[in-house]
Structure formats: C-alpha cells, structure tokens
Structure 1
C-alpha cells in the first residue's frame, strides 16, 4: 500500500519547480531573445568590422605593391577599394580597377570624426601609414543604431575602439 501511495506523489512538479521554470523563461524572453530578433547593434558592429577589413586590405596592398596606389573611397551610400597605376605625391594617378561597392544597409553610414563628412578618400603610403585623411587615434564614426569608432595610429595600426 505504501508503495502505491509514494508512486502517486512522484507524478507531478512541485510549486517551487514550476515558479523557478516560469522565472527562467521570463528572464530568457526579456534578456536573450531580443538580441536574436533585432539587428540593432549587430549592424553597427558588422559594418565596423567590414570597414576595418577593407582598410587593412588597402593597407596591405600598399605595403606589398609600393609602385601602385590603393584607396578606399567612402561615400554616403557605401565604400569601395580602388586600384591606381601609380602614386603622384600624396595622391593617386590613373585609375586601373575598382572593387565592388559595399553598400550600407538600414540607414548606416561612415563619417570622419574631425569634419563629420561622409564622402572622403583614404590612402596609405608604402609603409602602411594613412596619408589621407590626416588623423591619429579615433578617425572614423560608424553610424548605425550604435555609434562605434575606428582608430588609426600614426604607425598605421587600425583598430576598433
């Protein structure tokens, strides 16, 4: 008899287990799920990482091909890497090839911190240092749902702030 009575007690959840489960589901739904379904800061971080990659690619090409000029052209709608045949002073000579334009999405943009301009060209010298625009430290704002910064040191190191 006692055996049957103890089995019937094990068929359900206690009130403490139910309340704990409901609280955990509530925390997950408030904290974790919005991060999966919104692109709020994700778009800013993605754009920043892609832009840093493009800058580093232009920088590496300038380091490896000292007789050519590489430029990242930034506009209000996107950015693209351009290849030039030679460098004349601090500017690039004849345009040889352009890479595909990387368009912004969701109202994002990139701007210079010094002038808030959204249209500019970024060039590197043969040592990997940024020639133009002339800035050190935080140089670019990545404007999306968050505002993130990209910095370039005088020696050429490009990184996220």
Structure 2
C-alpha cells in the first residue's frame, strides 16, 4: 500500500529516520541552549539588577521632567543617592535625607534586596537638574551586587541611558 511509507514489504522504508546533518544540527541547538538559556532558568540572579536599573532610569527621567516644568525662581529638586535609595528626598534642600517610610513613591527608588546597592561614581551623593534638563555635572550611577554591575549614565546635556 502506498500510504504506508514506514513499512514497505515488511521492511523499513528508505524515508524513515533522520539524516546525519539533521542530527548534528539538533545536537548543536541543544548544546547552545544548555550553555546559555538553561542556567538562567534555574537562578534568578541578575534580574533584580535589571529591574532596579529600569525603575531608576524611569524615575530619573520623571525627576528631570519635573525640573524642566518647574518655573519657580527657587528650584530645589535635589536628587540624593544613598546606598539603598535614590531620588528626591523628603527634606529636600537642607540637609537631604529620606524618611524611613516604606510607601511607594514616584520619585524614590528603594532597593530592598540586601546584596544590591547604589554607587554614585562621581563622588558626590547629590545632584540636580536645571530647567533645561541638564544635571549640574555628568553622572555615572551604578547598581552593584549580585551577579552583575549595571551602569546608568547621565551625560552633560541630560540624556539618561542604561548600559
């Protein structure tokens, strides 16, 4: 019978099975997956840093927009960086400090993971944006710990990027 291609006269057909090239390609794909994807499935390391980096960039851009829309003569939108928090502090102008509340904020990033921390690599732990959205100096802020260190840069013209 022609429709039965696996058996022809009680023997296996010449069309059954895989070619050597197909087997080699499948083994190579499995090898690539085992090296790259499989280790990420069994650990959550590295994802916290990426999440905090995205949140920090979004909140820095919100603070920058707020500074650009503030038309008052006395502007005090100071961005304060500590080991576990970054954002506009509660006591903003003098001396900057964060309250110990745990409420979510649109301008404060709080790291709750013990192994992660912020580091302002420019030495100063506070900066501000002018009405054009530019920082007082170019900044490099890193999120350190865990499996990787991620960098957030604010260039002199105000562009905020995640590296």
Question: TM-score when scaled to structure 2?
Answer: 0.66
Q: Where in structure 2 are the equivalents of 1:8-157 lying within 5 Å?
A: 8-9=12-13, 13-14=17-18, 16=20, 17-18=22-23, 20-67=25-72, 68-82=75-89, 91=93, 100=105, 101-104=108-111, 105=113, 107-115=115-123, 120-131=125-136, 135-136=137-138, 139-144=140-145, 145-157=147-159
Which sections of structure 1, spanning at least 5 residues, go unmatched? 86-90
RMSD: 3.7
Higher share of residues assigned helix: 1
Q: Helix, strand or coil for the counterpart of 2:78?
A: strand
- Displacement of 1:76 in angstroms is 1.6
- Number of aligned positions between the proteins: 148
Report the CA distance between 1:57 and its aligned residue.
0.7
Q: Determine which structure has the larger strand proportion and give its number.
A: 1
State how far apart, in whole Å, the 2-side matches of 1:108 and 1:75 are: 12
Distance 1:148 1:156 in 2: 19
- 3-state DSSP class of the match of 2:8? helix
